[in-house]
Structure 1
Amino acid sequence: MPLQAVMEVVKHFENYNSIPQVRHLSEQVHQIHLELAHQITGDFQEAFTGPNAKQFSPNRQLAEACLVVSILDPKVKRDLLKWFVGLQLAEYHHLFQESQDAAWLDKVDRRYAWLKRHLLEFEDKFGPMFPPDWDMSQRITIEFCNLTRQELAKLMAKRKSEIDVKLLLFAIQRTCTFENLLARRFTGATLDDVDPNPGRNAQASASVNPFDAPDADGDSTNPFREELEEERGDAGPAADGPLISPFNGIISKCFEPHLYIYIDSLDRNLSDLIERFVVDARQRPEGGGAVLASCADLFVFYKKCMVQCIQLSTGQPMLGLTATFQKYLREYAVRLLQGGLPKIAGSSGSLGASVSNITRDLSTSGIMQNFQSFLKEGEVTRYTGEEQSRVCSILTTAEYCLETTQQLEEKLKEKVDANLRDKISLSQEQDMFHNVISNCIQLLVQDLEAACEPALLAMNKISWQNIDTVGDQSGYVTAVTSHLKQTVPSIRDNLASSRKYFTQFCVKFANSFIPKFINHIYKCKPISTVGAEQLLLDTHMLKTVLLDLPTIGSQVARKAPSSFTKIVVKGMTKAEMILKVVMAPTEPARAFVDQYAKLLPESDAQEFQKVLDMKGLRRSEQAHLLDLLRSERPGMGAGHDTAVRSPEHESSHIKKLEKLIKKRL
């Protein structure tokens, strides 16, 4: 084109504008440009708004004029396009102005239908007249989107009291579907030419699949590890990958300030869901160690809510959604899990009465008969098999909630706008599920301890000083073993999917039961040497049973965890050492004290006195040994002087102090 060639020559001589002839020619060319721009603009206005506009049909003259405009100052093209696009949307302005019934949200799809029809008519009639690189249909569409977003925002601000969640979601769904249609139709190349800040949500334009990175284990039972394409339907991206589109949010951004209506609706729905869960749990309590069905239902609902909210906005509404999730995670933890735990109805009163009724002077020959009757009378209220199973189910459910809540937090942080990421945390809710797990384990431990308690009390009622021969293990050991064999395999089976928490149960039971057993050993007083030998045999047998606790009653041979084995070995070895000290002669005294310090190096003077009580020594006899321990083993006696002094020793000390005061007076 000659004009193009002329412009290139003028540009080439820009550095020579100081020469009058060159400057004059340049000014002439500039003037020609202005005249061409004025003439072409006038021709367009005459053709499209003049008296004969209705009869106008595209012609070659205007088509060539467009080519000229492409060469002129870019401002000429921008002004012409702005005017022409506005002209194309004049009818839209009129049909959907604020006062028109069609302008409201319930008819929002009519807006999009209008644009589709108009673009078809425009492209059919005027499309060939404009250069392809002008992207006229796309420019009209983008201006339509910006105008629609602004008009809907103003309209909703004035009539927000009329918006309910159903209407809001209808409008958003139709709008998002339209935006996805535009994404498939246009590239968005002219978007910034029309509006450098159209209000689209850049974060939302990325992948909206919150589960596009499933864990390596591929656990399909966790709803936050599943694919979402089935959730998205026609509004979603093509199957070959997530759709990245600049049109995402170009209109629907206007709905974001009103998404609190959607969040409030979710709150009400979740409240109803939790209430239904509570009623179902009361009517049909679940057990068997399996995860409660209500838990899966809750997180599936969470998943759907999150996917939907991500499609609506990844900004501030996501924080509102997170707060709602937090609220009902806490509700579930408190009402369904903690509130669903069966209570242990202890019978300490009847147990104490049974103990008091046992004769204090059991003969050796009558130990087993009296022991059996005591166990029967001293039975405590325990969990039924169904209740025990329910505790295990609540534990596994809390574990599932804990893991899934961690996944939920990761996905929320991944999908929310980067500047809001630090405001999302579900750590407190995770702590609540941790606490439920700990409570479940503690209840199982307490229940098993309650079963063993009558046997330990019976052990204290045996006349250990009257035993003159060492036989097989005592009846209380058999009773404890029986309870362990009845209870632990059932818990192990119910926690088959939570091996680490079964191990924790074994560890906590050992940590609780062994110190209690040692305290009951101290109560076996006085005790003869033969009685101590029998008790030592019982302790060793019980130690063997406890070491086998994780696999007791199992057909599968599996080595107990080392952490558990260390606890049992350390605790029960201490019990054995206590009995060996009891069996040792107190003369010579120094050798006895050395033996105590050697066998129980971590012990103290207070426990030493308990050993002396078991041997049946009087307080006056104990005083010398205690002083010897404190003098030769200051580390063992330090910090326990007040606790270990006998009443006789304290009385003597007070009398000496009284005599000293009298002398001074």
Structure 2
Amino acid sequence: MSLKTGIEFESETGTDQKHETHESDGNLLPVCVSPEVQNTIDKVLSSDDPLDKADFNPIDYINGIFPTEQSLSNIDDVLNRMKAKIRQLDEEIRVVVRGQNNVEKAGKEALEEAKQVIAQLTSRIIEMKAQAKKSEQMVNEITCDIKQLDNAKKNLTSSIIMLNNLHILVEGVDKLEEATQKREYAQAAAILQSVVDVLNQLENHKHIPHIRVLAHKVETIRLKLAEQIIADFHSTFEGPNSKHSISHNQLRLLAEACLVVSSLDSRVKHDILTWFVNLELLEYKALFQENQDIAWLDKIEKRYNWLKKHLMEFEDRFGKMFPIDWEVSECIAIEFCKVTANELCKVMSNRLSEINVKLLLYAIGKTVTFENLLTQRFSRSISYERKDIKQISFSGLISHCFEQHLNIYVDAQSENLSKLIEQFVDEYQKTKNNEILSAEVFPSAGILFTQYKHCLVQCVQLSTRKPLVSLTTTFQKYLREYAHRILQNNLPRVGGPSLATSSLSSGGVLSAATSAAGILQSLLKEGEVTRFTKSELCQICSILLTSNYCLETVQQLEKKLQEKVDPAFVDNINMKGEQDLFHGIITSCIQMIIQDIESGCEPAFNVMIKTQWSTVETPIGQSAYVTTITNHLQQIFPFIRENLQEARKHFTQLCNKFAVIFIPKFINNLFKCKNLSQGGAEQLLLDTHTLKKVLLELPGWESVVKTAPGSYTKTVIKGMTKAEMILKVVLVPCERIESFIENYNKLLPDSDENELHKILDMKGVRRAEINLLLEAYRNAPKGDSKDIHEAIQNNIDHESSKIKRLENLIKKNVKV
């Protein structure tokens, strides 16, 4: 056996381990190392030598060196290299061990040295702590001393200030007494202010007897100064020498006294100002007494000129006497306004019969102008000199006295509006026979609302309270008057002059609904077909446009009145009744036009009813009555649309109402067509489809806008589809009763027994068969409405395609 085989045998015996081994008692034992230690070894001793691997296997290593038997011849060389390497490793280990011994000795020495240094540091730290404690004690002692010194300084300062204030107070009181006795008001003003300031600082020490005595003495001096200064004012302006001119020294003395008053109680200033202002207005009160001719309204401007002149004289003579912040000129002006308002109230009450609107407006105009002048004058003065004073508006201080007499103004406006309405009526009477070629808003409506605007602007300047509410009532009255006399009364009547119903009923205007009913009842007599002329249609359209203009303007007027009126009176502004009135006239006009359009269709419907439908065999094209209706509608609708261009919404409304009225009427006329043959029913079905197309195109006929309103289209499709379904039922054979009833319920799910009876009459069914069919209809089950409507739609589609085929067939027959 070769060495390799022997080695491999040893491997099989269990010595092949993936970790290091060592020899113990002649056996190889593994050296177990944790992964963390092994990782550390790999980082410190990085080596590619297989001997350094953690999973070193000696068997594999030897087999690697001696792979074959021939390689054993070099075993001595290998052993020598191994021994040399072992000797090298032993030497390195000895060097490391000796080095570790030296390091351990040096480390012990360093450790001892470090212990000595730490001991020295600890000793020094203890000493520093002791010194810091001593320093802290010293600082606390010094701080305590400083606080004591600060308190002593504060108390000393307070004592000095108090003693100083007490000295000022004692000295000031003495000087103030002396200045008061000598009437040296300039010095007294300066001393009094400083004394008052000192007393305020000593407020907390008034319990001290000496200070309390001084405070009482100061108050006594202030009272004496107030009495003395008031007496000086009275003696200067009311004394025996007051008739002579006041000297410069007197003015200077009083000017200095005013400085003192500013430091006294505010009541003193108020009393002086009240007395002085009344004194200044004594001449005015005497000159413009209510029994004087100059006090009347026509000379009201002289009152205001008096104040203008007097203020100029006052400011020239006494303007510098009073401090600026007293605003004496403004006080005089305010009191003048109050006195003037009271005096004017008395004068107007005593001479009420002499007031007319012209005089009243003249007086109000001059007053408002004067108030605005005062506002501007004193606003500029205040804003320039005393920005901290609240600005006072003079607006209304005098003019409010006219408010209770503004009924004269309102009555005058009522009279003017009444004349204006009469003028409109006269003008219309002169032009009523003229032919009208196109519709337009009556110029009178614009004139009326222009007058309203002028009255509103003027009244708002006079008052925004009850007079404005009264003016609103006047507006409402003449809006109703205009609606009745200019609009309702001029609606044309077929074959005669303008309709002129009673203008008033029990003192009031007829309602729009009542008037409209009377108009419609008078349009057509039984058995007659009457029509409006184109001029009359234009007249109706003009009234409709004018009513629409009035309706929109009244809405704006109501909003503007509510904005301008005083908030307390907003609820009194309500013009809904007038809006309803104009809306009613619009409705009347639309119904008259529709009635006229219906009248134009009556001859064609008569032809339709009188046609012998039982003799018609096959459809031969569009019936003559359909041509007549189509021509009539396609002529009148563009004409109406052209004349209602300024009120497109009402033209749309007219179209909708026409469809609602025309289609049921057409269906009723269908029911009047009796004993229909198969061909007759098919002809009527073709006519119905043709009319349906004409109606759908009608609103946009000969117009750039071809699209009809959605509501109108829906009404036409729904109504005319029902007419088509009626004729479809007529075409259904009734021999099989159940089948006929089933088809009837599908085609006309919303029908009833009465309508079925009419359809059977159209088919020419005998009385006995009708009873059987009606009995079957009563007993037949009703289907689901959704399924029924789907069936209807399917039938409509089927019928539409059938009608198209029928039209094509008719065209071919016509060509032949």
Contact preservation (8 Å) 1:485, 1:552: yes
Summarize deviations over 1:287-323 as a string: whole Å, max 9, x none: 7322111101111111111111111111111111111
Measure, in 1, the Cα distance between the counterparts of 2:381 and 2:220: 32
Tell which deviates more after alignment, 582-591 or 122-131: 122-131
Tell which deviates more after alignment, 44-53 or 100-109: 44-53
Shift of residue 45, structure 1, vs aligned partner: 1.6
Q: Which has the larger radius of gyration?
A: 2
Measure, in 2, the Cα distance between the counterparts of 1:492 and 1:118: 71
Measure, in 2, the Cα distance between the counterparts of 1:408 and 1:499: 23
- SS of residue in 2 equivalent to 1:128: coil
Query: How many residues are paired up?
Result: 554
- The one-letter code of the counterpart of 1:174 is K
Paired residue for 1:303? 453
Contact preservation (8 Å) 2:547, 2:586: yes
Paired residue for 1:543? 692
Measure, in 2, the Cα distance between the counterparts of 1:124 and 1:287: 74
1:124-273 maps to which residues of 2 (within 5 A)? Answer: 124-187=316-379, 246-273=393-420
Measure, in 2, the Cα distance between the counterparts of 1:298 and 1:347: 34
Measure, in 2, the Cα distance between the counterparts of 1:389 and 1:41: 85
Paired residue for 1:90? 282
Measure, in 1, the Cα distance between the counterparts of 2:209 and 2:678: 130
Contact preservation (8 Å) 2:524, 2:530: yes
Contact preservation (8 Å) 1:150, 1:254: yes
Note closer, same or farther for the CA distance 1:75–1:56 as it changes in structure 2 (3 Å cut).
Answer: same
Measure, in 2, the Cα distance between the counterparts of 1:142 and 1:245: 9
> Are 2:159 and 1:9 aligned?
no
Paired residue for 2:779? 631
Paired residue for 2:267? 75
> Are 2:246 and 1:56 aligned?
yes
- Whose RCO is larger (CA < 8 A, sep 6+)? 1
- SS of residue in 1 equivalent to 2:464: coil
**Which of 580, 588, 602 lines up with 2:728 in the alignment?**
580
Paired residue for 1:426? 575
Contact preservation (8 Å) 2:551, 2:582: yes
Summarize deviations over 1:393-444 as a string: whole Å, max 9, x none: 1111111111111111111111111111112100111111111111111111
What's the TM-score, normalizing by structure 1?
Answer: 0.81
- SS of residue in 1 equivalent to 2:379: coil
- SS of residue in 2 equivalent to 1:548: helix
Contact preservation (8 Å) 1:344, 1:447: no
Contact preservation (8 Å) 1:60, 1:129: yes
> Are 2:467 and 1:467 aligned?
no
Identity over the aligned pairs, expressed in percent?
55
Gaps of 5+ in 2: 1-189, 383-390, 496-522, 785-816
Shift of residue 347, structure 1, vs aligned partner: 5.9
Measure, in 2, the Cα distance between the counterparts of 1:261 and 1:594: 79
Contact preservation (8 Å) 1:529, 1:583: yes
Measure, in 1, the Cα distance between the counterparts of 2:715 and 2:524: 30
Measure, in 1, the Cα distance between the counterparts of 2:573 and 2:779: 61
Measure, in 2, the Cα distance between the counterparts of 1:306 and 1:633: 69
Note closer, same or farther for the CA distance 1:12–1:188 as it changes in structure 2 (3 Å cut).
Answer: farther
Note closer, same or farther for the CA distance 1:307–1:557 as it changes in structure 2 (3 Å cut).
Answer: closer
Measure, in 2, the Cα distance between the counterparts of 1:502 and 1:71: 81
Summarize deviations over 1:602-628 as a string: whole Å, max 9, x none: 111100000000001122110000000
Tell which deviates more after alignment, 20-29 or 522-531: 20-29
Summarize deviations over 1:516-541 as a string: whole Å, max 9, x none: 00000000111111001001111111
Measure, in 2, the Cα distance between the counterparts of 1:492 and 1:8: 89
> Are 2:479 and 1:329 aligned?
yes
**Which of 218, 226, 229 lines up with 1:29 in the alignment?**
218
Paired residue for 2:762? 614
Shift of residue 13, structure 1, vs aligned partner: 2.7
Paired residue for 1:356? none
Summarize deviations over 1:2-54 as a string: whole Å, max 9, x none: 22111112223334333322221111111111111112112222222222222
> Are 2:426 and 1:283 aligned?
no
Paired residue for 2:640? 491
Measure, in 2, the Cα distance between the counterparts of 1:128 and 1:628: 114
Measure, in 2, the Cα distance between the counterparts of 1:557 and 1:104: 68
Shift of residue 635, structure 1, vs aligned partner: 9.5
Paired residue for 2:503? none
Measure, in 2, the Cα distance between the counterparts of 1:246 and 1:627: 90
Paired residue for 2:468? 318
- The one-letter code of the counterpart of 2:713 is T
Shift of residue 634, structure 1, vs aligned partner: 6.5
Shift of residue 73, structure 1, vs aligned partner: 0.5
Contact preservation (8 Å) 1:188, 1:246: no
Paired residue for 2:421? 274
Measure, in 2, the Cα distance between the counterparts of 1:16 and 1:317: 63
Note closer, same or farther for the CA distance 1:189–1:517 as it changes in structure 2 (3 Å cut).
Answer: farther
Paired residue for 2:544? 395
**Which of 496, 502, 506 lines up with 2:655 in the alignment?**
506
> Are 2:167 and 1:18 aligned?
no
- The one-letter code of the counterpart of 2:328 is M
Summarize deviations over 1:486-542 as a string: whole Å, max 9, x none: 111111111111111100010000100000000000001111110010011111111
Measure, in 2, the Cα distance between the counterparts of 1:471 and 1:413: 67
Contact preservation (8 Å) 1:287, 1:392: no
- SS of residue in 1 equivalent to 2:275: helix
Measure, in 2, the Cα distance between the counterparts of 1:406 and 1:272: 24
**Which of 484, 488, 493 lines up with 1:338 in the alignment?**
488
Measure, in 2, the Cα distance between the counterparts of 1:245 and 1:169: 25
- The one-letter code of the counterpart of 1:606 is N
Contact preservation (8 Å) 2:697, 2:706: no
Contact preservation (8 Å) 1:188, 1:247: no
1:582-601 maps to which residues of 2 (within 5 A)? Answer: 582-601=730-749
Shift of residue 633, structure 1, vs aligned partner: 4.3
- The one-letter code of the counterpart of 2:394 is F
Note closer, same or farther for the CA distance 1:251–1:499 as it changes in structure 2 (3 Å cut).
Answer: same
- SS of residue in 1 equivalent to 2:228: helix
Paired residue for 1:199? none
Contact preservation (8 Å) 2:745, 2:782: no
Gaps of 5+ in 1: 191-243, 352-379, 637-665
Contact preservation (8 Å) 1:96, 1:102: yes
Measure, in 2, the Cα distance between the counterparts of 1:434 and 1:188: 53
Contact preservation (8 Å) 1:460, 1:523: yes
Summarize deviations over 1:365-411 as a string: whole Å, max 9, x none: xxxxxxxxxxxxxxx32111111111111111111111111111111
> Are 2:604 and 1:455 aligned?
yes
What's the TM-score, normalizing by structure 2?
Answer: 0.66
Measure, in 1, the Cα distance between the counterparts of 2:447 and 2:705: 37
Shift of residue 349, structure 1, vs aligned partner: 5.3
Measure, in 2, the Cα distance between the counterparts of 1:567 and 1:281: 40
- The one-letter code of the counterpart of 1:116 is K
- The one-letter code of the counterpart of 1:565 is T
Measure, in 1, the Cα distance between the counterparts of 2:358 and 2:777: 82
